[in-house]
Amino acid sequence: MAISKMLANITQFVSEAFMRIFSPTDDAYPMIGFQPFTGIPYKERNAASW
């Protein structure tokens, strides 16, 4: 009885992991839209002149 219960638990664990890996993403990000700028603006006068 204990072996069959342990085998069922292992099978459930592996199948849930498989479903999580190969299921579509559940992110709530919009496909398009405003993308905020988070970088540093380029200033030509501060660039190194070679």
Residue 50 has pLDDT above 70, yes or no: no
pLDDT in tens, 5-45: 999 999 999 999 999 999 887 777 767 777 777 777 776 66
Residues in the chain: 50
The Cα 3–Cα 9 span in angstroms is 10
Task: Calculate the dihedral angle through the C-alpha atoms of 28, 25, 37, 40, rounding to the nearest 10 degrees.
Answer: 140
pLDDT in tens, 30-40: 677 777 777 77
This prediction's pTM: 0.48
